[in-house]
Amino acid sequence: MIKKIYTIQNIFLKPLIFGIFSAVLLSCNTTRLAIVEPLEQYNKPLVNTELSTIGLAINVSIPELEKSLNQSLQGLIYEDKDFSDDSRYVKVWKTGPILFSVDGSVISYQLPIKIWIKTGFKKELFGKKIENYYEANGALVVNMMSKFTVNKHWQLITNSKITNYRWTEDPEIKAGGIKIPAKTITDMILFTLNSNIISEIDKTITEKINLRNALKTKWNEFHHPILINQDLGIWIKMQPKNLALTPIFSSNKQMQFNIAYEALIETFVGIKPVSAKTVTPLPDLQQINSIEPYFSIHSKIEIPFKTITDIANKLVVGQEFKRGKKRVIIDSIHVWGQNDNLVVKASLSGSVEGDIYCLGTVTVIDSTQTIKITDFDFELNTKKSLLKSADWLLHKSFLKKIEPMLTIPLHNYTQKAINASNEYFKNYSFDKGINLNGSLHDIKLQKITLSRDGFIINGKIDGIMRVNITDWF
């Protein structure tokens, strides 16, 4: 009976004693680390000072201007009822459409009119009223020419003048038997046209083509971020600086104002950037001979530390490193910045338990569009601690297991951004009557910095961009 009890004890007690003994031995062979965590600190972000130029083309359709002017000037287009200032009454009717032609910055137009003039005198002599009036009317087509210029305040200036005319209805004079020279009638008609009708036409044209208001509106709007690609969340943020104008020219029934728009331009991916704190006033006009609508946009690609941590954990967690009978398993990875270095915290279990810290310099390689970690090594306090308690872990093969996992390829992302943005830039309309045409050629990755939020990759996007404004009337 006693022998049987001992047999049961052997069955149950021996594994228990062995387990406890093994745990004690394992505990004795496990190194527990307590290393001071490296500080999180960051350099000031880079400030972009390179101006980009965007070609801003403001197109005025001559047929639309012609149509708008004809709608504004219909029937009786001028009437002078005040006889006291120049001793005449005048009425002018437009009898047909105004027809435009354009050459460079010069617009020529035909104005068909009918004119009626009543003039004479009214006096009191020796207590008697003496009056004598005569009337003249006729119809003619007046040919005029106007050269468009823009002053330094971006206001359109027109200076129309009569080049010639022809009578379509000979002037008819009613003067109670008094003979009135035809030259006198012609002089009065030309005076009326030059002093009143032409100024009215110039006024109407400058009201229709309010260049300053159009530019001021867009100048103010360009102080706010513009969403270029909704799918990828690509934003452009601009800080307008200068505006310059080339000589006005026309082609294909279009009058074009080509404007060079200079600005500090940045791109952002993801979160909408904050608008400019202040809207700068519209600058005075600068005259230039030509515009090269090429731009180099300062780009920012931001990659949060959380994204990098998630990528590293997917690739590294569970990886085992052995050295003889000793081994460690990587349980988790966490990253942050320390000036220009990336801090990699690896939590370990196995023969070594605790957190170790590695440092590496983050670099961006433009030729392969890749983010890499170079000079990757144990942080100084970690190295000192491992030398004392777990020098076997200082082997470079451990670092080589982690380092490749921190390489981030960007080529597919940048190429996708270029292709998607170019689709949007094909006559992309971001407001009524305002179309953007352009293309991105290349994204150059220049420098990477670390911020509290993650990696900031600074680069340049080269391309061509024109903004066309067509909706005036």
- Tell me, yes or no, whether 127 lies in a domain: yes
pLDDT greater at residue 19 or residue 94? 94
Q: 205-209, 232-236, 349-353, 395-399: which has the highest mean pLDDT? A: 349-353
Report pLDDT for 16: 35
Q: Angle at Cα 470 formed by Cα 465 and Cα 471, nearest 5°?
A: 135
Rounded to 5 degrees, what are φ and ψ at 243? -135, 140
DSSP code for 399: H
| pTM to 2 decimal places | 0.62
Length of the chain measured in residues: 473
39-48, 57-66, 177-186, 413-422: segment of lowest average pLDDT: 177-186
Range 50-74 average pLDDT: 83
* Number of domains forming the structure of the chain: 1
Q: Write out the two tokens for 204.
A: 């109407």
- Tell me, yes or no, whether 218 lies in a domain: no
Range 459-469 average pLDDT: 76
Which of 173, 183, 106, 171 is closest to 139 using CA atoms? 171
Kindly tell me if the per-residue pLDDT of 215 is higher than 80.
Answer: yes
Range 125-137 average pLDDT: 72
Range 292-305 average pLDDT: 74
Domain that holds residue 136: 62-209
Report pLDDT for 17: 35
List b or e across 125-138, with b for residues whose CB sees 16 or more CB atoms inside 10 angstroms: eeeeeeeebbbbbb
Q: Which runs of consecutive H residues, i.e. helices, occur in 95-251?
A: 182-192, 198-208, 211-221
Q: How confident is the model at residue 315 (pLDDT cuts 50, 70, 90)?
A: confident
Q: Kindly report the number of other CB atoms within 10 A of residue 111's CB atom.
A: 25
- Tell me, yes or no, whether 331 lies in a domain: no
> Using CA atoms, how far apart are residues 341 and 302, in angstroms rounded to an integer?
17
- Please tell me the number of Cα atoms within 13 Å of 236 on its side-chain side: 23
Kindly tell me if the per-residue pLDDT of 27 is higher than 70.
Answer: no
> Exposed, middle or buried by CB within 10 Å (0-12, 13-18, 19+), for 142?
buried
- Tell me, yes or no, whether 170 lies in a domain: yes
E strands, 339-380, are: 341-350, 352-365, 370-378
- pLDDT-above-70 percentage for the chain: 83
- Tell me, yes or no, whether 439 lies in a domain: no
DSSP code for 425: T
- Tell me, yes or no, whether 277 lies in a domain: no
The residues with which 299 forms a beta bridge, in sequence order, are 267, 459
Sign of CA dihedral 221, 223, 228, 232: negative
> Using CA atoms, how far apart are residues 13 and 419, in angstroms rounded to an integer?
71
Kindly tell me if the per-residue pLDDT of 445 is higher than 90.
Answer: no
- pLDDT-above-90 percentage for the chain: 15
- Tell me, yes or no, whether 377 lies in a domain: no
> Exposed, middle or buried by CB within 10 Å (0-12, 13-18, 19+), for 353?
middle
- Tell me, yes or no, whether 299 lies in a domain: no
- Please tell me the number of Cα atoms within 13 Å of 38 on its side-chain side: 27
